[in-house]
Structure 1
Amino acid sequence: MVRSGGRSGGVKAARRPEVRLPPLVDFAQGGLEPDGDYDGVRFGASVDLADASGRGARFMDCALEGCALDRAELVRARFIDSVLTGVRGVGTDLAEASLRDVEVVDARLGGTQLHGAVLERVVVRGGKIDYLNLREARLTDVVFEGCVLAEPDFGGARLTRVEFRDCALKRADFSAARMDSVDFRAVAELDIARGVERLAGAVISPVQLMELAPAFAAQIGVRVEA
């Protein structure tokens, strides 16, 4: 059953990251290294990480600013206490990656693979991400704020204390997802293509309930006729 009400009614607010970067050193290498260790590094707009292979790399206290990430291989990479601002790219592979205490600001990404990833205390603010693959991912204390998510796939994902605020969710897939304290009330556009029956554990507004009523009726086999 979808809970509708205030935070006192059971929904818990997400805990946001508090990232304070130390003085950073500019990245000077030609590319990433598999299992590389990057601590206190700034990857500026001139850094092209397209087709880079950083599988299993660790990014601690790092800033990625305007970097190109097209087809970058970052499978099982770890981002800790880091900020990604204005990153862009298509086909970035972050499958099974770990993001903890991370801010993603004004990203322009398409086809990003985050299936099986773990996101903890993450804010995605502004920007547009097309075809985001979060299947089987675990999201805890995650906020999507002021961004556009076009056809995101949350299939089989576990969402705990996740907030969607002033963002557009277009043709979202929540098939087999599990939710606990997920807040959709402040979303600018809520368009669920699949998995409306998986909203147990979420909170929506009365207006959203009316908008989703046809989908709920179809799910339980109720025909609505004038």
Structure 2
Amino acid sequence: MRAVRRPELRLPELRPYDGAELEPEGDYDGLEFAGTDCSGQSARGARFMDCALRRCALDETVLSRARIIGSVLSGVRGVGTDLSQAMLRDVEVSDARLGGVQLHGAALERVVVRGGKIDFLNLRKAKLRDVAFEGCVLVEADFGGAELERVTFDDCTLARVDFSAARMKDVDLRGAAAVDIARGIDRLAGAVISPAQLMDLAPAFAAQVGVRVE
């Protein structure tokens, strides 16, 4: 297993964001969004470079096709955040409380997701390279058709995860606290699991090949 490359973060001295509404195709550089309510706003195609979003509300915020680079998202919360086809590179996400996040078709590279809980995460057909999930809870995460390379799930709870049509290379599930695969058990080629996880997943493997266990 090749080790996951971590984000290379060197935030400069940040300037407070002035609180104006986000703009599509906006350019945000070296800013700190502290407790900003971005609910319902659109920053489609915007660029966030060397920014920190702390305790921000992202309910129904549109960030599709946005580029988030060298940035930190801490304590963000929201339902229905749209990050479809976005690019996240050298990003740390910590203690997020999100639901129904749309990341389908997105590209994530050198990203850490630490702590928090994300429900109904949509990563269909996304590309994840050098992504570390640490100590977080993912409920019904959808990786359908996604490409995962050098991805780890340390101390994470994966509940009813969907790996249908996913492609994996150097994916490490051994550190996960719990792994519950709803669909796509046949797509684990390229992943590593522990002997204990193999025993837990044995019924699903048996069902996949049509073996009855009585």
**Class of the TM-score when normalised by the shorter of the 2 chains:** over 0.9
TM-superposed deviation, 1:224: 1.4
Aligned residues: 214
Letter in 1 for 2:93: V
SS in 1 for 2:43: coil
SS in 1 for 2:68: strand
SS in 2 for 1:105: strand
SS in 2 for 1:119: strand
Aligned residue in 2 for 1:195 = 184
TM-superposed deviation, 1:184: 0.2
Aligned residue in 2 for 1:181 = 170
Alignment partners' CA distance in 2, 1:224 and 1:53: 52
TM-superposed deviation, 1:18: 2.5
Aligned residue in 1 for 2:9 = 19
SS in 2 for 1:159: strand
SS in 2 for 1:153: coil
Aligned residue in 2 for 1:44 = 34
Aligned residue in 1 for 2:60 = 71
Aligned residue in 2 for 1:8 = none
Q: Which runs of 5+ in 2 are unaligned?
A: none
SS in 2 for 1:190: strand
Q: Percent identity?
A: 70
Alignment partners' CA distance in 1, 2:213 and 2:39: 51
Aligned residue in 1 for 2:92 = 103
Alignment partners' CA distance in 2, 1:223 and 1:192: 19
TM-score for the superposition, normalised by structure 1: 0.94
SS in 2 for 1:213: helix
Alignment partners' CA distance in 2, 1:148 and 1:20: 27
Letter in 2 for 1:81: G
Letter in 2 for 1:27: Y
Post-superposition Cα deviations, 1:60-108, rounded to whole Å, max 9, x if no partner, equal: 0000000000000001000000000000000000000000000000000
TM-superposed deviation, 1:12: 1.4
RCO higher in structure (CA 8 A, sep ≥6): 1
**8 A Cα contact 1:131 1:151, kept in partner:** yes
Q: Which runs of 5+ in 1 are unaligned?
A: 1-10
1:223 aligns with 2:208: no
Q: CA RMSD in A?
A: 0.6
SS in 1 for 2:111: strand
SS in 1 for 2:23: coil
Alignment partners' CA distance in 2, 1:116 and 1:194: 19
